[in-house]
Amino acid sequence: MAVTEPARAAATTDPRDGPSAAPEPPASRGNRRTLAALLLAVPAAVWLLLYFVIPSVQLLLTSLTTPEPGLGNYTAIADGAAVSIIVRTLVMAVVVAIVCAVIAYPYAYLMTIATPRWRAILLILVLVPFWTSLLARTFAWVVLLQDGGLVEKAFAALGLGSVQLLGTPVGVTIAMAQVMLPFMVLPLYNTMRGINRRLVDAALSLGAHPVQAFLRVYLPLSFPGLAAGATLVLVLSLGFYVTPALVGSPQQSMLAQYIGVQVNELVNFGGAGALALTLLIVTLLLLAAVQLLTRRRSGSQRSLTTSTFGGTA
């Protein structure tokens, strides 16, 4: 007598195995992944709570209660020299970001078109500053920019005469840009290497000028990396202390130096806390502005793509 397939399957199944397990529903898998992600984020959340949130709350309380309760420390910022120092710090950070963008953009593009060997060399040149102490690099700039230093001799050899850079905003900008350059190059390179170059070739084949193809195709596609690098440079430049203190002058001090004076020389912890929170608020406003600009630009690019290709098959 022939044995049917279901009977054969039942005969070969071990009764101790029990019924087969039902497939896990997608909602349960999603909940488990969410829980795993939350557990992975716990160490970072605890770190931020201990070393950012709690100190910020303590600064806020100090600024509102020392030397006397009230908003006196914040009104003193508006009435004193702190406003000009905050503006100077913002201008310096923006200038450093622009200088880094001008230097880093072609450098990152060169990394994308270079051979693997030269790309590795260019990447090592970018990472070399990370292997050197910030204090050592700053002292090196002091030696280079001082009177009779290598930079002044180079300008004299070119017939430009004596050019003073140490103790000037230009010297501080040069030193800060050298420190911040890797933070602009790496996000740009990461974005540029994912750009499809055939889009630029398509624009050229359709009659676009190379400058037009760059401005309307390549530059918008590389904008996320440019925005990320500019954000990093801006935020980090706002809190610079060592480089402006050594390369700059007291007359051109930045906000971090002014906060140091309030704490170390004037013992004004309430005013220093108010200045630090003001710097934090300015940083958050800059981050929000960059985020809003990035979202609007991404939305305009999507709408342009939809209006251009939406009706084509």
The whole-number pLDDT of residue 173 equals 93
Whichever domain contains 114, its CATH number is 1.10.3720.10
**List of the chain residues with pLDDT < 70:** 1-27, 29-30, 298-313
Interacting residues of 60 by C-beta distance below 8 A, sequence separation 6+: 273, 277
The whole-number pLDDT of residue 308 equals 44
Query: Is 34 domain-assigned?
Result: no
The whole-number pLDDT of residue 303 equals 56
Identity of the residue numbered 201: D
The whole-number pLDDT of residue 193 equals 92
Cα gap 235→19, rounded to integer Å = 59
Residue 238 CA to its chain's centroid (Å): 12
Contact predicate 247/142, CB 8 Å: yes
What's the pTM value of the predicted model, to 2 decimals? 0.80
Query: Is 302 domain-assigned?
Result: no
The whole-number pLDDT of residue 310 equals 46
Query: Is 73 domain-assigned?
Result: yes
Query: Is 274 domain-assigned?
Result: yes
Query: Is 198 domain-assigned?
Result: yes
Query: Is 8 domain-assigned?
Result: no
Domain carrying residue 129 = 56-296
The whole-number pLDDT of residue 21 equals 52
Report the number of distinct structural domains present in the chain.
1
The whole-number pLDDT of residue 49 equals 93
Cα gap 12→5, rounded to integer Å = 11
Distance linking the first and last C-alpha atoms of the chain: 60
